[in-house]
Structure 1
Amino acid sequence: MKKTQSKATRGEGLYIVLVSVHGLIRGQDLELGRDADTGGQTKYVVELARALARHPEVGRVDLLTRRVEDNRISDDYAQPEEDLGHGARIIRLDCGPRRYLRKEKLWPYLDCFADNAIKHIRRVGLRPDVVHGHYADAGHVAVRVANLLGVPVVQTGHSLGRVKRERLLAKGATEQDLESRYSIGRRIEAEEEVLANAYMVIASTQQEVEEQYAQYDHYQPERMVVIPPGTDLKRFHPPKARSPRPPIYKTLARFLKKPDKPIVLALSRPDERKNIPTLIQAYAEHEALREMANLVIVAGNRDRIRDLDRGARDVLTEVLMRIDDHDLYGQVAYPKHHSPDDVPDLYRLVTRTRGVFVNPALTEPFGLTLIEASASGAPFVATDDGGPRDILAHCNNGVLVNALDSEAMAREIFAIISDPERWKRLSDNGLKGVRQHYSWEGHADKYVKRIKGLRREAGRIRRGQQRLSGKLAQADRALISDIDNTLLGDRGGLRTMLQRLKDEGRDVAFGIATGRRLDSAIQILREWGVPTPDLMITSVGAEIHYGPEMTEDLGWARHIDYRWEPDALRQALLELPGIQLQPEEDQRRHKISFFVDPAEAPGMKEIERLLHQKDLHANIIYSHDRFLDLLPVRASKGFAVRYFADKWGIPVERVLVAGDSGNDEDMLRGSTLGVVVGNHARELEKLYGFKRIYFADATHAGGIAEAFDHYQFFGRCGVPGEKSK
């Protein structure tokens, strides 16, 4: 019998790539609340992938996340691929150490993740219609993947660094503490970058758009769309008449003197932002509420608090101390474990006992738990922020309070529980509102309509001219080096390196990546006796040329033309004090060069903000306190190296890149084989310890020759001790 191909295999329907790097993601039995990184976002992206895959106009959905091999967690997270059905898959990619890491520790490895994402997409053989990042770390990845492929970037923030910083500072945290615990500056920088590049930002609420994203320099309200998250109405529903008590009831009853009293439930990760201690304070200080109801705190799963990460350990320690301070034993349940199947039962216990669900988070962009509770028939009290505002507007089944006002929180909880008629009205309103406004099917419909609009806006960017014949077509690895102070500087070392390349590098493509313009690069290479390279990346990545004839890659020129408005950029900067154009010979089609007087000119952050206010986009490169270059947002040495490797079918893991200064960092990071020569600038020392970056003892080209041996470049070509793939 003849086999039939799926529409995804045939390339029919939309191909959507979702990226969610951190936490633990699998198709079944999500470990929600295990730690600060395994919360509502992990559930959201899995359900979004399934909902999109079921849509008739979608052919394939790949959810890219991090592969983890760690004996402390399930082997599920080490599996490279997991089928979610209907053309949706979880694809797990290597990213840094094999062990599980909290998200703040992943930043140095995200460029490797992006390279592996490109590698996966090439294997699939389809161009994505969109690359959709979830959270700041995935946004960093999505920008690199989408810009290299020439497809639209979509972003969902889930929570925002500027908002988190503001709320935690209000609670007494210091800037230094926020940096050490949350890498908040790096996170905000990534959020600004993805907002500058995104075709569309999906928010859950209008408040998220108007008040939270508005705090960012690259706030573009015209590119933001509100699509509320959905919920599984088959799983979350009210308790059935005469149904038996669920298994979790026995667990709670162990803590409670009178377990059948109304339940005030909080369900979240043990994260400082979730503000659980304030809820305990509210309950403890309202005598009538304590008499009428029990408090249930479900804050993730744990064995021992002392084994948790610092943030969760601090929160749970504070929870226990407040319970002890107010002698709440017998009135508060705080179970150590619960299963995913217990979650709907917990909501239904709230409804069954005529209780209230409470979300006291300091900031709440989504509010998935509020939707789930509402679908189960439970009224809510929640923070007056973000998602809860829109949910209340749609469902009219609760009350919003200031998250730091414990008296108001207790008062509103008690008012609902103590008024049976009001409780019933709120419960009924929630059931009706969720069915009308919060289904995944409706979410997917809105999403697909928007994505189709982006596809028309972006167009189909062709990847340039046909492959050239000759060495580039035959090469299976490449050496790409910066010129000044890397390739050149020591004539003896250069002769040694070039001779080895000639004797042993028959299948090696040789290229340079420099800030010099093409004619200047050719001239200095001739002066030093360097043979004409196979590849020339010049003007800091703005131009690519090939072979003896220096054939321009027109596909790259078209690719980086995205959002490039040189006349407007030139005019905007020349209006500023202390800035003037460099000579005409230093100007290129995709590079505008200026001289800067640092005593008069504004800072780079201010220039970036100014350009955004004018809806102008550029990659700003400032060097030596004097030179300023503006390039397209898709142009850089690192982007150009990866474009070249992708176009010519050379695995990026077999590309040796060499540099000496901070201008080379973006091509050294990631899955390339990097070498930092011995005469390097101090700014590259932060890359010490990266297993794919070798710090040579020898200077200049001698350091490159040293890397030939370190990586066995002409042989197996890889990191010492790393298994070949």
Structure 2
Amino acid sequence: MKPCYGEMDPNPLYFVLVSVHGLIRGHDLELGRDADTGGQTLYVVELARALAALPEVGRVDLMTRRVVDPLVSRDYAEPLESLGPKARIVRIDAGPDGYIRKEELWDHLDSFADNALAFLRANGPAPSLVHSHYADAGYVGRRLASLFGVPLVHTGHSLGRVKRSRLLASGLARDLIETRYHMARRVEAEELTLGTASLVIASTHNEIEEQYGLYEQYQPQYMRVIPPGTDLDRFTPPDGVERSAPIALELARFLADPTKPMILAISRPDERKNIATLVQAYGESPELQALANLVVVAGNRDDIRDLDTGARNVLADLLLDIDRYDLYGRVAYPKHHQREDVAMLYRLAAAGRGVFVNPALTEPFGLTLIEAAACGLPLVATSDGGPRDIIGNCRNGYLVDPLDAAEMAQALLTVLRDGVVWEGFSQAGIEGVVRHYSWHAHAESYLEAVRPLLEQARPVRPHPPLAHNPMLYHDRAIFTTLDRTLLGDRESLAEFVETIRRHRKLASFGIATARSLVSALKVMRKYGIPVPDVLITGMGSEIYYAPELEKDRVWKQHIDHLWTRDAVRAALDEVPGLRYLPKSEQGRFNVSYQYDPQEAPPLQDIHSLLRQTEQTVNATLSYGTRLDVVPVRASKGFAVRWCADRWGIPLERILVAGGSGADEDMMRGNTLAVVVENRRHDELITTLANVERVYFARAGHAKGILEAMEYYDFYGACAAPGPVDG
């Protein structure tokens, strides 16, 4: 085959990029066609072009699978395609001719590697390095780099362990996940790639710590943050025509004074995007309302009632909060927008000296922040995850606690009121994106990162791989309640957190609490508790999985049985001694009250009242002061067992920690249990004294849990001690 690029330098750097799956071409990428043709395909094409544009680089080949299929464009059957003077796509035959999902490619990767090797041998010279993208390319790239004796660079894009957690949250069974996604092969390939790669490139420090940190071969010294580039031809500062754009006219329908600065938020209508706290921050600040309009662009819809439950609830709450705070004429929430409208929205907001806000509870990267910054918009963003890197690099806004509405409002006010601050952030953002997030900047940082590898006499990873742990997934877990169990002793809590972090590759960590998601996250943030692998909230009525707090949708469907929330309230709202807790502590599947033991009837009488009104529910009293009513299929104990089944961890290898009667159903049965010392300790001794596998700790709070870890040898045998021979 003849090369389709120009003359090379006498001693060029030759980079081989490998991205096996999906449909890749140099023009009109079919982004979103399917799960395999998304952001990764755009990334590898732009990376190839950006690297080829560097004077030090003489040649870049992007290797992908050749597809001959009448159902897709003939472009994907062409063996070679030029990407510019020094870059091309090389399509390699592997497996059947037709287009198949990446999960079906595993048996054909050895053929891909052999055919790629033959191409490289025939079209020399040898590559300077091999850069693999995703787990399947990691499998291929490891072979090629080893055979040529050159460094392997790897970018995961997404990771199997994280993907599996998302799939479990979506409701897929473990066996089906394995059958459909070949997750064991994927994770094994990722482990081997991480054990071989001379350099792993990630987008954020959060990705390195929270996602790659789950792997046995996690070694951060071989990892480098090089964020992907942004299309600076599309995202540009205002040019004076924004006010006449169709999207501007659409927003004006909502606003009494469309000329006021704009507080702009763009996200999916997802609970984790935390739109409610942003509306609260705006609604509770008359000064903010006087200064600016709020514009919330939350997906596209024809009818809110046709959306899935999560999106429907988010948008319904948005409308209710607008009414609650009487924000009519000051908030815009358009029903539709096009892809090209997004850049115009940023420019429109920048032209009016507004601000872009990302209030998400969790944000792994934050692409919208980079796009907004490129258009000259100052930022106010969650202090979680990727935004720390972006604002740290660009110095163009404020990081805020996404759960603190007052702090969010104050940051917005500071940007909007002070023209000097606004100008400084706007210019810093434009310059910072060019410096850190353009494709040219990405390529230069890339070359800086790989140059030491290329200059070594033997340019391979300078250490042997770690001994691989044959255990694919965690085989044990610890679940603890929050208030008065985990909390109460900061010194032992710090030791507990450090212990959990040190063993995160061995054991899953869960928290089960009566608190709502937002309330639990506030407490965890305050005390420095990391987001657990699973967070059970609302007394077992909701289950969320790390790292992005994916809600378990099947659990929600499972517990929606004989549940009538309004009827529960009708039965209990007038009961003496019960005070309905604030909205922040309520959920779709829990009704929660402050319980006054001096006035309220005993719990058994409340049970009788609920039965008399034909409510089949679980009612639980925590520490004698809080009453929670949840569906009959929901409880902390049920939720723990649901997670155990989803993860495939035997109950006998799950340690549960509690301290009140509300935790009993977690501790009864086959789990390893610990009751930490507190003022309810004696009450539980009475009810659990004859229950097997329950340990009563001498210490309270986190120290009591650590005591139980030692008693059960949790990170070793993970079992109740047997009887001692006399």
Equivalent in the alignment of 1:634: none
- Give the match's secondary structure for 1:190: helix
- Deviations along 1:533-553, one digit per CA (max 9) or x if unpaired, are xxxxxxxxxxxxxxxxxxxxx
Could you list the per-position Cα deviations for residues 590-618 of structure 1 after superposition, in whole angstroms to 9, with x for gaps in the alignment? Answer: xxxxxxxxxxxx96779xxxxxx9xxxxx
Instruction: Give the secondary structure class of the aligned counterpart of 1:444.
Output: helix
1:86 counterpart letter in structure 2: P
Q: Which residue of structure 1 lines up, in the alignment, with residue 126 of structure 2?
A: 127
Give the 3-state SS of the residue equivalent to 1:158 in structure 2: coil
Q: After TM superposition, list the pairs within 5 Å mapping 1:450-599 onto structure 2.
A: 450-457=449-456, 459=458
Name the amino acid aligned to 1:215. Answer: L
The separation in 2 between residues aligned to 1:128 and 1:440, in whole angstroms, is 22
- Output the amino acid matched with 2:152: V
Aligned to 1:219, what secondary structure does the other structure show? coil
Query: Contact between 1:16 and 1:129, CA under 8 Å: does it hold in 2?
Result: yes
Structure 1 pair 410/440, CA: closer, same or farther in 2 (3 Å)?
Answer: same
Listed as ranges, the matches of 1:226-265 within 5 Å are 226-241=225-240, 245-246=244-245, 249=248
For residues 265 and 80 of structure 1, the distance between their equivalents in structure 2, rounded to whole angstroms, comes to 45
Q: Distance in 2 between matches of 1:186 and 1:122?
A: 28
**Equivalent position to 1:278, from 273, 286, 295:** 273
DSSP 3-state at the match of 1:21: coil
Any gaps of 5 or more consecutive residues in structure 2? 323-330, 474-501, 503-726
Report Cα offsets for 1:202-225 as digits up to 9, x if no partner.
Answer: 233444444543332112233223
Q: Output the amino acid matched with 1:125.
A: G
Partner of 1:41: 40
Deviation at 1:434, TM superposition (A): 2.6
- Indicate whether 1:114 and 2:113 are aligned: yes
Question: In the alignment, which of 315, 331, 335 is matched to residue 323 of structure 1?
Answer: 315
Q: Which amino acid aligns with 2:273?
A: T
Alignment map for 1:350-429 (pairs within 5 Å)? 350-359=349-358, 366-400=365-399, 405=403, 411=409, 415=413, 419=417, 421=419, 422-429=421-428
2:173 counterpart of 1:157: no
Q: Distance in 2 between matches of 1:321 and 1:69?
A: 45
CA 1:414 to 1:226, structure 2 compared with 1: closer, same or farther past 3 Å?
closer
Classify the secondary structure of the residue corresponding to 1:429: helix
Quickly say closer, same or farther: Cα 1:265–1:182, change in 2 above 3 A: farther
Instruction: State the SS of the aligned residue for 2:49.
Output: helix
Cα 1:179–1:460 shift into 2, 3 Å:
closer
1:87 deviation in Å? 0.7
CA displacement at 1:50 relative to structure 2: 1.4
Contact 2:251 2:332 in 1 (8 A): no
* Aligned length, in residue pairs: 456
Q: Evaluate the alpha carbon distance shift between residue 562 and residue 283 of structure 1 in structure 2; reply closer, same or farther with a 3 A threshold.
A: closer
Change (3 A) 1:335 1:74: farther
Equivalent position of 1:550 in the other structure: none
Map Cα deviations across residues 511-530 of structure 1 (whole Å, 9 max, x no partner): xxxxxxxxxxxxxxxxxxxx
Task: Tell me the SS of whatever aligns to 1:378.
Answer: coil
Instruction: Say if 1:365 and 1:156 are closer, same or farther in 2 by CA, change over 3 A.
Output: farther
> CA contact under 8 A between 1:401 and 1:408: conserved in structure 2?
no
Note if 1:296 corresponds to 2:297. Answer: yes
CA contact (8 A) 1:167 1:362 kept: no
For 1:218, give the aligned amino acid.
Answer: Q
The CA distance in 2 between the partners of 1:365 and 1:235, in whole Å, is 23
Secondary structure at the counterpart of residue 427 of structure 2: helix
- Number of the residue aligned with 1:53: 52
Give 1:512's aligned residue. Answer: none
Give the TM-score normalised by structure 2. 0.51
Q: Is the 8 A contact 1:37 1:103 kept in 2?
A: yes
Q: How far 1:154 moved relative to its partner?
A: 0.4
Provide the secondary structure at the position in 1 that maps to 2:339. coil
1:158, 1:366 within 8 Å by CA — same for their partners in 2? Answer: no
3-state SS, counterpart of residue 456 of structure 2:
helix
Q: Any idea what SS the aligned residue of 1:347 has? A: helix
Q: Residue 701 of structure 1 corresponds to which residue in structure 2? A: none
Structure 1: distance between partners of 2:32 and 2:377: 21
RMSD: 5.0
How far is 1:424 from its partner? 4.3
The structural deviation recorded for 1:433 is 2.6
Match in the other structure for 1:338: 339
In 1: Cα distance, 2:94 partner to 2:310 partner: 34
1:145 equivalenced with 2:140 (yes/no): no
Asked whether the 8 Å contact 1:276–1:360 carries over to 2, the reply is no
Q: Is the 8 A contact 2:435 2:441 kept in 1?
A: no
Contact 1:154 1:202 in 2 (8 A): yes
Query: For residue 91 of structure 1, what is the amino acid of its counterpart?
Result: V
Letter in 1 for 2:339: H
Sequence identity of aligned pairs in percent? 51
* Preserved contact between residue 275 and residue 360 of structure 2 (Cα < 8 Å): no
Partner of 1:196: 195
**Structure 2 CA distance for aligned equivalents of residues 248 and 98 of structure 1:** 44
The 5 A counterparts of 1:570-649 are: none
Query: Does the CA-based 8 Å contact 1:136-1:190 persist in structure 2?
Result: yes
Q: Give the C-alpha shift of residue 376 in structure 1.
A: 1.1
1:1-28 Cα distance to aligned partner (Å, 9 max, x none): xxx99443x7741110112234444334
CA drift of 1:414 comes to 5.5
Question: CA contact under 8 A between 2:281 and 2:406: conserved in structure 1?
Answer: no
**Deviation of residue 240 (structure 1)?**
2.0
Mark the CA change 1:604 to 1:294 in structure 2 (over 3 Å): closer, same or farther: closer
**Pair 448,562 (structure 1): closer, same or farther in 2 beyond 3 Å:** closer
- Give the TM-score taking structure 1 as reference length: 0.51
> Residue by residue, what CA displacement relative to the aligned partner does 1:244-301 show, whole Å, maximum 9, x if unpaired?
6446556777999987776565667x7xxx95763444456666289731211358xx
Please report how far the alpha carbon of residue 563 of structure 1 lies from its aligned counterpart in structure 2 after TM superposition: 6.3
Q: Is the 8 A contact 1:356 1:416 kept in 2?
A: no
Distance 1:229 1:75 in 2: 29
Distance 1:123 1:254 in 2: 64
- Residue 366 to residue 71, structure 1, CA distance change in 2 (3 Å): farther
Judged with a 3 Å threshold, the aligned counterparts in structure 2 of structure 1 residues 443 and 284 are, in CA distance, closer, same or farther, namely closer
CA spacing shift, 1:120–1:295, aligned 2, 3 Å: farther
